[in-house]
A = this chain, B = another copy of it.
Amino acid sequence: MSRVRTRPTRDDTKERLFEAAARVFEERGIGAASIETIAAAAGFTRGAFYSNFAGKDELIAAMLEDHVERSIAHHRELLTRYRTPDDYVAALRATERGRRDPLGRAPLLHMELILYVARAEKRRPELAKRLRARRKLVAEIIASTMQAVGEGVRDPAWAGAMLLALEDGFRLHRLIDPDSTPADSFFRAVNDLRRLAES
């Protein structure tokens, strides 16, 4: 039995390394981020890092694993509460405003991870699985909320793919030029499309 904990638990350390890595990746880019910098940002030395991960690759794999579930869980939770398209979009808008991003991570990091993994041929399937899960989820959301209002969409899966492309695209453009790309561009587009589809 220990009297008072003076050393952080292993999971604590990993968590701190995650956060630090997210910050550093976002700031410098994954490729330009050194292990040393990441460890230092977390308040540790390289020793701690290598004690927890085999290297940069394993860290990133762990980051993906960790955060994917979180974001999907959030959407599913929203789905149980808001049953019409308008409500759902409104709810999303609200969380968007409050949080950093519906996917749970800052946009730059999101893109950065996509690129990093897309480049690592052997690891691409992981990210692909994630994209497919997101699409399936959006398709479900469309189908579910549409049905609640009595409207029909011919192909929810394709509609989901389009919406996700639109979302990621606007996210990218907002990175480049926030001034000409308002935060709610995506939602505006969704509403426009819904209006189009209804007429």
Contact = CB atoms under 8 A, between A and B. Distances in A.
Chain A, interface SS category? helix
A81 interface: no
Nearest to A155: B192
Contacts of A161: 173, 180-181, 185
Contacts of A116: 29
A94 interface: no
Contacts of A164: 169, 173
A115 interface: yes
Contacts of A130: 176
Nearest to A121: B103
Interface stretch (A30-38, A72-80, A142-150): A30-38
B162 A189 contact: yes
A128 B166 contact: no
Interface in A30-84: 30-33
Given A185-B161, A185-B165, A199-B199, A176 B117 contact: yes
Interface stretch (A3-11, A12-20, A85-93, A106-114): A106-114
Copies of this chain in its oligomeric complex: 2
Interface string A112-141: 101111110000100110111001000000
A16 to B, nearest CB: 23
Given A127-B176, A177-B128, A199-B199, A29 B115 contact: yes
Interface of A: 27-33, 108, 111-112, 114-119, 124, 127-128, 130-132, 135, 158, 161-162, 164-170, 172-173, 175-177, 179-181, 185-186, 188-189, 192-193, 196-197, 199
